[in-house]
Chains A and B, each alone.
Chain A
């Protein structure tokens, strides 16, 4: 008892408090670092090879049609141009159609901000309280009556509105424009306002974005369910791209009769409804057809980087081993020579 009493300030003698926890202390020495070089190279080079092979297996076709029409100045004046395309190799499996834009800064801060997620969620936004983040694309002065724009904001206003008609001979290649948006976006984030079964009524209070040719409820004339905010092309556009050089899915090859295995090689015709102006700001636009792999689209960089890095590790490892052995040899030599003297 006395012992306890006199030692009431005695610190606990635990491994933690005395800083004696069992610890693993890795020591960097030639013996422990050299194997790391080789292990990394052995792991990375094969991965790189696999990735490269996968990437090479993807067939991709791109066509830059920016200059097919000169003097396009407005999004609202449609023009068309016809482009002949030759597919050298067949595209097996699922084939995706993309449009690619260059020098279009979808990542600009004020551009990215210029949207109203609540509006797109299907919440009726009263005339006066459209999100100010959409400004100046939030309200439309229609002969004195001010109406909110649906969908508001710069992103929506600048939506890509070229259309592609892709045909082989006289037969149109079936490219459907659904299934390109994220399922979660389609089912959760984007909802039409009430009443959802009568979009004309639902959007009757709203004005269309100034750059748009058609109001939002009639974006897709072929498929009535693909309209309003739930238009997949619109949803895809609303997901702003990371860089100014990007592509976005346009549609998927419907693998029905004649295209069950994908897109065979041969002559095709591409009819473009040319609306979207890019030349003014030095942009380019492309039409892209591509198959995919489990790694996504065609991108050889990843595979090459793996191989190069693995290779560098290997070379570095060998060099260091040689230096290490040399150093040891000279040490031994000097030791031996000292012994001899």
Chain B
């Protein structure tokens, strides 16, 4: 009876993300490591060394570097793997309830023992262990909510449906009776796609199942007591695991440059080997004429003298082995270590930590740290990246009347700031102080400053900036997101006429009440025309776990005056002036502390006296406010519930609108679906009761229509009404034009014009606009449309197209109600960051899907567009026109350039701005296809190419570019275009799924962990919490890492070359025999031990310029852009330096020790010591800042060298033939000659530095 519990085809649910097992570690790891070029190189060298004729080193010791590298790498891999193993263990040993047919009960079982075909029960708030087909839910409607944040980071709840019942409608789901065959796709990684069939065992119709029935592993059950389902995919076959990609590997620009230099090194090596080989041949042929040459050229084993040519050939390979260090293999390992260290440093930067969301920066890509210092173009998304993506309902216009909502969104503290000059001064003073640097506090003896200093604790002094700032944000978020303070005029109008009065016949309504009817329709539209999910606050776990509690910051530790004033400073930027007197300060302090205790219970009215003078208490919690209001009216039966309602929306705009309706008392209270019938319930203000709308159709949002609608049956009169809201262009183009009556028509025109005017106004102040409209349908109209729509739904071939056409047909003849203006507030520090980036020589592009007006406004407010910038707008309908426009613009630019003779760089001198609109991406599918692809795609059009070229030509002259109306794909294309055409380093920053293509194309992708989920973060190289962190990330960390790595790479080239040159010079003295005066173990571990640590420390810690200066002078970033620190020239200068130093060391010591009794190895030891000193002190000179770590490492390296050589030279009398350095070091350091030579050589060699 048990269905195939042990089927071999199906994987168990046990997951193993580790790469190795204990047994397979050694072979597998070694195999992987030998795939690397570096290790392979080592192996070849070792192999060469085993050929007797070439034998340079002792056989064992030649393996030392390889073994060291392999074991270090292996250790790192093993540690990483062990961590994964521990994670796996935790996951596999989680328990889940699994149905067992033996006793017809659910039993606890480990995740790892779960099998495909098992029926499991998952309770609320627990994680789903495998991909499960939902068979039963505790919810009577058969739905369940899941949170997919583990999978895609989207924290809003998603609804899943139980597979339609097929085991009989009348009784509950019993696992025992479940006998069906399920057909489904083979495991794949498409999270949003799934389809299959369920075939009941007792025959009967196939039931198709799809994505909406599937619960994915890793998601969490919410708002549903328990669900039951059958495991379809387990373990590694789940969609979550199949989507689990490893970290990204990118090669940095510096590394690419470096590789060319490595090739130079190879060439150099070959040249040196060739010289050695030829020299050897000549020398040997000279010698072969001499009888007695075998005195010091031993013959071959057969007693014959070696043929000079053959000897030369051998010599070549001998030299390869001998001079192997010239190829800086150690550099690769060192770079990996250094980058790891740099990443660690970036990760632990407290300035990049966002306290409110508790997110530090996360570096996901480990090997492009230095690219951060070379960015030339930044491509930024707008919404959610520059702005907070926290929508606030700011104002609306209904029936041609503007309701400014003057008090809205501005909490009293922000009222304050503009009027209190003293406070302002203080704030500015404080912020200026911070930027000057904390230490500057002690600098001057200003009495005011001292008094402030007294009020601040030491830790505050360091942390104040970040901490206080984030308190400010959290405060506003909480206020703005949900709190809308009704406009008193509008509110008055709304409640003055109860809704029911319009019940009968709209047409008969008089003009003034037409306005009121519009107002009612407007709010009903806001309340029901959406897809938000309603959740109750009583379900603590949802909100507590998904949204960080904004109030959890304890404010008590911060002196309140200080706190407030800082908040004032940081929040005053985008607030309109107002005239509130300063004494409100005291009032506002009160709610602060009230709120600062966390937990849902504290959402209580802060003004319990029921102050219904609405605007004043704008900063209290909205729901509390509403609750209080209702209480006073005495109706409040559901007040508690209503006030606790929370909305989970797919887009923040939607939520903002629903909350706005909520504020006016039109509360979206309940959604239900029974037997295919959906209905929405709203409650009306002033105890107006409930209203249940039957939803006939939902016309969901899509990016071509840019609007959504619902068709409902009005409960008042049974009229079928379409409520539609959408982008202004989308609505205005579908308005009703067929007015029979001139007066009527005039009125509608007027309304349209007025609304348009307000829309423009809203756009100008940077609000996102949406038009609200409705359409009353006759039964006939509706049924006619419905038939066509059904047909469209059934169409299999191009269903999508048909559906859209059908929607478009319905959304016509709309009656305009009004429009809303939603503010998307700029994130903190965005203007400053953009300004700094531009000063740093980085071109900032904003690529957004928004319309031009909104984008330009945001552009202005974030200082992307300066006041005196010349703005070039490229907005045309057709590609041809665009091409022409580009031509004329470019030629006019050329004329201007002619007048300015000295223009080398197009970046800074020409300062204008392009607002580039990709032509007509708003087009409906019916419109000619030719208009769609503005940039590339697959269009064979040469015109497209031409446009792209011209656009790039123009764009590179602009300081910044604003691209509007860009689809996600176009975002990526714009970036790719610039990257390919200009060969520049690009960075893309974005927060949403629509930025993913851009982020992936860019050299560096930065994801903001913001409102729109984690897709951007998942595909990014760096994950930030806020846009402003980009400033420090690029200007400071980018610069540092670039400078550090550049100098480290150069140093490694220098170091290896210097050392190898020494050996090369020796060939001249030893008859090009491949002889070697340096003791072989020194030669091999010179890189590994004696000179390895200080450059690594420098690579992680050195600071050529301190952080404060870098932030203050963004121009310093140019060094990286122009690649000034790592030029081809600098490479050769370093090589020349190495040449000079090696010549000095070698020939000075040669002359000093010539014609003495000095032994080969003895002299070699002197040379090595001198080289160690010179090379380490060289680094010391390069080091810009010395911390104690530098000192320890530098001195430590010298000590290690001496300790090693002294110990090694004393312990072993016969090891490592032939050099056998027994007691050499001990003897050498006793001679004065040694010390004085070292001193002289070091001084002379380094003097040019």
Contact = CB atoms under 8 A, between A and B. Distances in A.
A260 to B, nearest CB: 25
Contacts of A309: 1240, 1243-1244, 1247
A50 to B, nearest CB: 10
Contact of B1214 (A19, A25, A117): A117
A246 B1218 contact: no
Contacts of A135: 298, 301
B1156 A296 contact: yes
B1159 A21 contact: no
A136 B1155 contact: no
B1107 interface: yes
Interface stretch (A82-90, A168-176, A195-203, A300-308): A300-308
A245 interface: yes
Nearest to A310: B1243
Nearest to B1217: A117
Looking at A153, A157, A296, the one whose CB has the most chain B CB atoms below 10 A away is A296
A180 to B, nearest CB: 9
A296 B358 contact: no
A19 B1103 contact: yes
A297 to B, nearest CB: 6
B287 A281 contact: yes
Interface in B1149-1169: 1150-1160, 1162-1164
Given A18-B350, A188-B1213, A280 B1160 contact: no
Contacts of A153: 298
B291 A22 contact: no
A267 interface: no
B1186 A246 contact: no
A189 B303 CA distance: 29
B359 interface: yes
Contacts of B1069: 107, 242-244
Interface stretch (A5-13, A213-221, A326-334): A5-13
Give the bracket for the number of chain B residues in contact with chain A.
35 or more
B298 A154 contact: yes
A277 interface: yes
Contact of A109 (B348, B462, B1070, B1188): B1070
A13 B299 contact: no
Interface stretch (B764-772, B1071-1079, B1198-1206): B1071-1079
Contacts of B296: 104-106, 108, 111, 154, 158
Interface in A227-262: 236, 239-249
B106 to A, nearest CB: 34
B1218 A113 contact: yes
B293 A281 contact: yes
B509 interface: no
Contacts of B353: 9-11
B1052 to A, nearest CB: 23
A19 B1236 contact: no
B1240 A112 contact: no
A105 B1187 CA distance: 48
B1070 A18 contact: no
Contacts of B1075: 107-109, 112
A280 B1187 CA distance: 61
A19 B1164 contact: no
A24 to B, nearest CB: 4
A128 interface: no
A21 B1156 contact: no
Contacts of A154: 294-296, 298
A265 interface: no
B1233 A6 contact: no
Contact of B1233 (A98, A236, A249, A295): A295
Nearest to A22: B1187
Contacts of A188: 1213, 1222-1223
A324 to B, nearest CB: 18
Given A47-B1236, A299-B1152, A2 B598 contact: yes
B1152 A301 contact: yes
Contacts of A26: 1186
A184 B1223 contact: yes
Contacts of B552: 2-3, 5-6
A69 to B, nearest CB: 15
Looking at B1101, B1157, B1185, the one whose CB has the most chain A CB atoms below 10 A away is B1157
Contacts of A114: 298, 1218
A43 to B, nearest CB: 9
Contacts of A297: 1156
A111 B1160 contact: no
A23 B293 contact: no
A225 interface: no
A13 B463 contact: yes
Contacts of B463: 13
Nearest to A44: B1243
Contact of A105 (B598, B1071, B1150): B1071
Given A135-B301, A247-B1157, A3 B554 contact: yes
B1155 A246 contact: yes
B1236 A302 contact: yes
Contact of B549 (A6, A44, A243): A6
Interface string B294-328: 11111111110000000000000010000000000
A115 B1070 contact: no
A280 B1247 CA distance: 45
Given A135-B301, A309-B1243, A112 B1160 contact: yes
A6 B296 CA distance: 77
Contacts of A49: none
Contacts of A10: 350, 353, 355, 358, 360
A105 B554 contact: no
B300 A249 contact: no
Given A7-B355, A189-B1222, A242 B1185 contact: no
B193 interface: no
B507 interface: no
A136 B358 contact: no
Looking at A2, A3, A157, A185, the one whose CB has the most chain B CB atoms below 10 A away is A2
A7 to B, nearest CB: 6
B210 interface: no
Contacts of A306: 1236, 1240
Contact of A19 (B303, B345, B1073): B345
B1232 interface: yes
A13 B358 contact: no
B1240 A302 contact: yes
B76 interface: no
Contact of A280 (B291, B1157, B1189): B291
B208 to A, nearest CB: 44
B1148 interface: yes
A302 B294 CA distance: 36
B1218 A17 contact: no
B573 interface: no
A9 B360 contact: yes
A137 interface: yes
Contacts of A51: 1236
B1213 A6 contact: no
A112 to B, nearest CB: 5
Interface of A: 2-3, 5-13, 17-19, 21-26, 40, 44, 47, 51, 98, 100, 104-118, 121, 131-133, 135-137, 153-154, 157-158, 182, 184-185, 188-189, 236, 239-249, 277, 280-282, 294-297, 299, 301-302, 305-306, 309, 313
17 contacts: A6-B548, A18-B350, A19-B345, A19-B1107, A100-B1155, A105-B297, A105-B1071, A106-B296, A109-B56, A110-B298, A136-B302, A153-B298, A242-B1162, A242-B1164, A247-B1157, A281-B292, A306-B1236
The 3 closest A-B pairs by CB, nearest first: A242-B1163, A23-B1185, A11-B348
Given A107-B1075, A117-B1218, 19 more contacts: A6-B549, A8-B358, A9-B353, A13-B462, A19-B349, A104-B295, A107-B1070, A107-B1077, A121-B1214, A136-B298, A154-B294, A157-B295, A184-B1227, A189-B1220, A242-B1163, A281-B287, A281-B295, A295-B1236, A302-B1152
